[in-house]
Amino acid sequence: MEEKRYVLDLRGEPCPYPVVYSLQVLAELESGALLEILADCPQSFKSVPEEVVKAGYEMAEPPQKIGPTLRFLVRKP
């Protein structure tokens, strides 16, 4: 079965909203789903991975910086 993949574009949202919204969306997804999170708040580079892992989700890839955009790929176990 193919895993479902979603994109949450939070570019332009100030911190702490990338963390808050990411956790809200992850809670609604089915097990095994992937969520690609895009943000541009510099603090998110550290806070998003820390908080999603603390909440029990998995980082499917290391965080990436692509110009001003930060990209996170998170899996719901």
pLDDT at 19: 97
* Tally of helices (H runs) and strands (E runs) in the chain: 2, 5
Residue 43 class from Cβ within 10 Å (0-12 exposed, 13-18 middle, 19+ buried)? middle
Structure tokens at 50: 């820390």
pLDDT at 1: 56
Residues designated as active site: 15
Question: pLDDT tens digit string along 13-51?
Answer: 999 999 999 999 999 999 999 999 999 999 999 999 999
Which domains are assigned to the chain? 5-76 (3.30.110.40)
Stated pTM of the model: 0.95
